[in-house]
Chain A
């Protein structure tokens, strides 16, 4: 258990947070300027808060009342920074071993071979960071943090400078590494897709304050949270299994919970795990089953709940898995939706963003 209380005053902005992390990944979501990086730097020990308290499993690392302040190099927190920040004068291998050679007072729990295997970076070991692609650099940066045998992983917008297509290829590595090494993690990002796919618990930071914390599908109904998410594009993020690839039809069939979706051909063999994201405003709801229609996904579902989020309505729909759909008040009124109403959900196969390794 990691407990964090921190206050820091800046000229134009105050950070004032209190939260705890169980032994699993937690995402901190917020728009830029919300204080996410400030918070992460305070936890890492790179920035001193005005007051606060940070402890891990009962061990006090920072306490403004007693003056305890463990320096960053002794905290054992692995940081995966934005843009990787690999040491340009060292090979990938030397970057990876930088922290490995500097584990103080704790046993090393993670070895080079393991990290190289999990992150698939064996072919990069003798190259210099300048020759790596953005995605490769981020995998190496994660490997470097892991090899310091951290007690907590800190991700500071690790995919912010990676282009959208590549992002979907790197995310699975991050998820795999976090679960494989079974580490608590604090994942900071302004991208709803990233935070929802990496962590089941999300802390929403806005203007230096925590405005909500909990699972995505619960907190998204809060208007202030929804507002923050909307600006970055609200997504349903689903995890499923490829059931079949049908090139003759031009789509793959993916099972998610009790539902199956037809999505653009996935570059993954049947049986493999796959991530799907679909924007809440790209899903269509109909009261009756439409006749012949080009949309490949026509699923029967039930309204599971509503949330009034300002000018829009967020409808939770159960189609065998739960997805959220964004409607205008006008549309919701015309459809006469109520909890339990049977409806049809329409999604184009190419509206899904696909996340494979």
Chain B
């Protein structure tokens, strides 16, 4: 019924969202753990920087990323001259844009799950001979795991839907950077594209709701285990 070209945005969206999610999980876990500490110096600064992409217009975030990562930008120029890697107007750029925009959402979810871990369990672990890192990996992280999974799925869903920053940083190149939202945008601007737009719309709804349901199931299971 549908040819490869029509599936291309779906596959690309998956590729972009998976890469972005995998890359933001470790830093998101680290930042969320920091923010979950009751006494943290510079909390306001970290929170502001992390939350900024959530409140700024995505197109502005995308433009800032382009200035930074474009061929002429300080980071982009260095990456190109040192490794020969281009970020702007490639699928990696689409992943960077998606990841940056999803980051605050993931941090929020993971921070909540860290905050729900009873700090006294960490104390008990210490007295039983586990050092701070051992305690983190043996007690804190496993207890926060369902929340981290939920955060990852939330981030994944957010990455699938990224539009504003992506179109600025990665462009809208069919087969290269055209993810589902960009393909929908193109389809509804093209006469006769309604059928394609409808197909992508249904796929998009199914994916988003699926990720959300799994995300909520994983936190609900955790609540059940705690009771």
Contacts and interface: CB of A to CB of B under 8 A. Distances in A.
B43 interface: no
A45 B125 CA distance: 12
A81 B120 contact: yes
A175 interface: no
B121 A99 contact: no
B227 interface: yes
Contact of B130 (A81, A98, A144): A98
Nearest to B129: A102
Contacts of A145: 127-128
Interface in B111-144: 118, 120-121, 123-131, 134, 138-139, 142-143
B40 interface: no
A42 to B, nearest CB: 12
Interface string B64-77: 00000000000000
Given A88-B225, A130-B225, A79 B143 contact: no
Contacts of A89: 142-143, 225
A72 B227 CA distance: 29
Chain B interface residue number, banded: 20 to 34
Contacts of B225: 88-89, 128, 130
Contacts of B39: none
Nearest to A46: B123
Nearest to B227: A130
Contact of A87 (B121, B134, B226, B227): B121
Given A88-B143, A88-B225, A73 B124 contact: no
Residue with the highest number of chain B CB atoms closer than 10 Å, among A41, A98, A104, A148:
A98
B124 A79 contact: yes
A44 interface: yes
Contact of A46 (B127, B131, B139, B143): B127
- Name the residue in B124, B131, B142, B226 with the highest tally of chain A Cβ atoms < 10 Å from its Cβ: B124
5 contacts: A45-B126, A73-B127, A81-B124, A99-B127, A103-B129
Given A99-B128, A148-B127, 20 more contacts: A45-B127, A46-B123, A71-B126, A72-B126, A73-B126, A73-B127, A73-B130, A75-B127, A79-B124, A87-B124, A88-B225, A98-B138, A99-B127, A102-B128, A102-B129, A128-B225, A144-B128, A145-B128, A148-B128, A154-B127
